[in-house]
Homo-oligomer: A and B are copies of this chain.
Amino acid sequence: MTTRTDTKEKILDLAEALMQEKGFGEFSYAHLSAELNIKNAAVHYHFPSKEDLGKAIIERAGQRFLDWCQQESMQQVTAKERLSAFMDVYYRQNLERGIRLCLVGSSAAAFPALPPGMQQEVLAMTSQILEWLARTLEEGRENWEFNFNGSARAMAGVFLSAISGALQLSRIGGESFYAATVQQLWNQLVVKT
């Protein structure tokens, strides 16, 4: 079975981008329909409520993250290379597109205003990311690639807080702020060779 149209995916792509650029509460069905040259009722056809739309955005992104970290090429590289790839895909690339936030940062900032069903999806996705980060950091520490004290889970919290925060603050301080901050974070973590 083939889908005749890809309107639903296009809506999700655009909504996700707008969420990173402006926040979930700062774009409307009218924004989506205007840009896609459809009527706002067409968006409601695919996503009856904004909660449905929000849930779908996060659900898809969460699945994409799982696919990404379970892909074959990921299993063959070191923890340091995996963490570097993570930062490139989920942070560095957003910087190049007009400083989009990561979905975790965007969701966290607007969390109390998000529909309940969406909050649950955000929690699930964030937990997945934090667990992957903790596993990666722990493995890197055992391989003498990373150097840090305390639990890998706590370090994962610091790392995710710092990079999502740095992406946000670089909207104020510019790309140079992001570059300097992430470099400092990386230097603190990585064992010099």
Min CB gap A89→B, angstroms: 18
Given contacts A23-B25, A26-B110, A109-B106, contact A157 B171 (CB under 8 A): no
Give bound CA distance, A187 to B153, whole Å. 14
| Pairwise interchain contact B171-A184, C-beta atoms closer than 8 A | no
Interface of A, helix, strand, loop or mixed by DSSP: helix
Min CB gap A159→B, angstroms: 9
For A126, what are the chain B residues with a Cβ–Cβ distance below 8 Å? Answer: 169, 172-173
Is A95 interfacial (CB-CB < 8 Å)?
A: no
Give bound CA distance, A149 to B189, whole Å. 11
Which of A25, A150, A153, A154 has the largest count of B CB atoms less than 10 A from its CB?
Answer: A154
Question: Within the complex, which residue of B150, B154, B166, B172 is in contact with A107, where a contact is CB–CB below 8 Å?
Answer: B172
Min CB gap A94→B, angstroms: 13
Number of interface residues of A (CB under 8 A): 50
Task: Give 20 A-B pairs besides A107-B172, A163-B165, A188-B188 with Cβ atoms closer than 8 angstroms.
Answer: A22-B113, A23-B23, A23-B25, A25-B25, A105-B109, A105-B165, A108-B168, A108-B172, A111-B172, A112-B171, A123-B172, A126-B172, A150-B183, A151-B184, A157-B180, A158-B181, A161-B163, A161-B181, A164-B165, A165-B168
